[in-house]
Amino acid sequence: MAAPIQALEMKLQPVSVTRQMAAAFPRLKALAAQKGLELHHLGAGYPHPEVSDPTGYIAHKDAYFHRLAKEAAPDATHAGLRDLLRGMYSYTDTLGPVRAREAFARVYGNDFGVKIDPSKLIPTVGSTGGISLMCSMFERLGKDIAYIVDAPTYTGFVTRAALYQRSHFYSVGMDEQGPDPEALRGQIRKAREAGHHVAFYYTVPDGHNPGGISFSEARRREIMRVVVEEGIFAVEDAPYTYISFESPNERPRPFVAIDPEHAVHLFTASKIGLPGPRVGFCYSEVRLAVSGNKTIDLTELFLTEASGDVLFHNPEALRGFEAYLTDENFEPRQTLWPVAAKKNAVYAENRKILLDGLREYLGEFSGEFDWTEPGAGFFSVFTFKNPKIKTDQQFVEKLIADYGVVTIPMFGFFPSDAKKRDPHVGLDQLRLSFSFCESCGDERREAMKKAVRAFSNAARIECGLPSLPGM
Ligand SMILES: Cc1ncc(COP(=O)(O)O)c(C=O)c1O
């Protein structure tokens, strides 16, 4: 083997729990198949194929583009379309097409009670791209940077933020309402005492991944109070705001609606639209003090980062999303909730099958098991109260190999400081996803029912309880 080219003085990151599961999956799937076991998906947090129709999305987009071309050049359709598309396939402004931003500001603003200024709406490569730019803004300082996160937190955030060698994570435990506000304050202060620059508090208040809860409105207010008092801001990652199971008057408001001057909102179209086009937006009214006694909009710094990174967002994708924000007659939509309702019919049904099944098969053993009932999103967190159970990698691999049930262990979602506080943290929990399976319609319902039954049966057997009848 050739000698390594350079000695890099850097700490290497551990592989994320979801990557580990993806790597082990083909081997475990083969093992389950050898035993004649059917595979049950409660692991992947992907959008369901039944509500992800790219053909409809593309057809509507194309028809919308033709219509725009006709509007621009009524007598020469081809020239109109060519000119329109030229703009979409050329170099463009980092801010992206104004009509797409105006359309999004109108719809999202209406739907979540926020007044969005389209000039501060910056396109991102999904929420992942927003996370990346938020981190790189603070990395420029060249200092030790502290991120305040939930315990557990989204691995995509930690994976990105930890790329910077001088990043540190201070985590805050959660209950069913959300994170503990005073613990949040404590962690901000602890980070500062350690000489770290606190960048922001990162969280997922709606349909927390992987926490399986939505924060209550009261808790959101308490969190915002602490954030303001401590002089920081919150970054709310918001893939699941539209994947809500609450009635409209009970939906908690996003941080950006509560206090836009102390929140950065990362919207992504991945769940309400499709993930592939990689459409997202960052919105905020946070202002930052910078050198020379100056104050600037956070979005201005974010825009500078974006122009040095993606340079410009795919304008065709953004205008495709603009098309999605018009109805079948190309009238501007005022709301996306009717679109969400169609998707949520499937997610709510899957969620109900999961929660009803867990209640039916495990409800009598409340001393053994517990699970969250998420107000939004794709996940429920399942807890084993039996101290004999350790939901480590070996345990989840056993669930696949012996029962055909795919789940994700929770321990990998806890930052290392949470593991120091409690070495067993997350080792009694699994993340159950109800968003994805391979089939549609009645077959999907059947697959979901079978999955929850197979999982419940596995949980019973592993805890030394009687198996379900006929299994
Ligand atoms: C909390 C959270 N953030 C970000 C993402 C990724 O979003 P995007 O597809 O917009 O990059 C996901 C997707 O699962 C997520 O759950």
In this prediction, residues 91-111 reach a mean pLDDT of 96
Q: Give residue 127 CA to ligand 1 midpoint distance, Å.
A: 6
Cα 405 to Cα 19, 53, 116, 454: the distances in Å are 18, 27, 44, 7
Of the listed ranges 88-97, 138-147, 280-289, 353-362, the one predicted with least confidence: 88-97
Q: Residue 77: which pLDDT band, with cuts at 50, 70 and 90? A: low
Answer whether 211 contacts ligand 1 (Cβ < 6 A). no
Asked whether the predicted pLDDT for residue 74 surpasses 80, the reply is no
Q: Of ligand 1's atoms, which has the minimum distance to the CA of residue 45?
A: 14
The yes-or-no verdict on residue 343 having pLDDT over 70 is: yes
Q: Flag whether pLDDT at 88 surpasses 90.
A: no
pLDDT of residue 327: 96
Average pLDDT over residues 303-311: 95
222 CA → ligand 1 middle, Å = 25
| Amino acid 301: pLDDT | 96
Residue 152 CB–ligand 1 contact under 6 Å: no
Q: In the beta sheet, which residues pair with residue 167?
A: 145
Query: Would you list the domain boundaries of the chain?
Result: 17-50+338-462, 84-324
Q: Whose CA is nearest to atom 13 of ligand 1?
A: 239
**DSSP H helix total and E strand total for the chain:** 15, 16
Mean pLDDT of 223-248: 97
What percentage of residues in the chain have a pLDDT greater than 70? Answer: 99
Is the pLDDT at 466 greater than 80? The verdict is yes
Q: Cα(399) to centroid of ligand 1, in Å?
A: 26
Q: Is the pLDDT of residue 214 over 70?
A: yes
CATH of segment(s) 84-324: 3.40.640.10
Give the pLDDT of residue 31: 82
Instruction: Quote the ligand 1 centre to 239 CA distance (angstroms).
Output: 6
* Residue 3: pLDDT band with limits 50, 70, 90: confident
What the block records as the tokens of 22 is 């993806």
Better-scored residue on pLDDT, 9 or 313: 313
Using CA atoms, how far apart are residues 243 and 241, in angstroms rounded to an integer?
Answer: 6
- Is residue 377 lining ligand 1, measured as CB closer than 6 Å? no
Tell me if 127 CB under 6 Å of ligand 1.
yes
CB count in 10 Å sphere of residue 341: 11
Smallest CA-to-CA distance from 214 within 267, 254, 185 is with 254
Any atom of ligand 1 within 6 Å of the Cβ of 204: yes
Predicted pLDDT of residue 448: 96
Confidence of residue 5 (pLDDT cuts 50, 70, 90): confident
C-alpha 316/C-alpha 61 separation (Å) is: 10
Kindly state if the Cβ of 241 falls inside 6 Å of ligand 1: no
Average pLDDT of 182-196?
Answer: 98
Mean pLDDT within 330-345: 97
DSSP-assigned states of every residue in 341-409? HHHHHHHHHHHHHHHHHHHHHHTT-TTTEEE---SBSSEEEEEE--TT---SHHHHHHHHHHH-EE-EE
Whether 332 has a pLDDT exceeding 70, the answer reads: yes
Confidence of residue 29 (pLDDT cuts 50, 70, 90): confident
C-beta of 270 in contact with ligand 1 (< 6 A): yes
Distance 373 CA to ligand 1 centre (A): 20
pLDDT (0 to 100) of residue 346: 96
- Six-digit token string for 126: 């999904």
Instruction: Please work out whether the CB of residue 153 comes within 6 Å of at least one atom of ligand 1.
Output: no
pLDDT exceeds 80 at position 76: no
| Ligand 1 centroid from CA 469, angstroms | 39
- Does CATH place domain 17-50+338-462 in 1.10.540.10? no
Q: Tell me the average pLDDT across 221-240.
A: 98
Average pLDDT, the chain: 94
Q: What does pTM read for this prediction?
A: 0.96
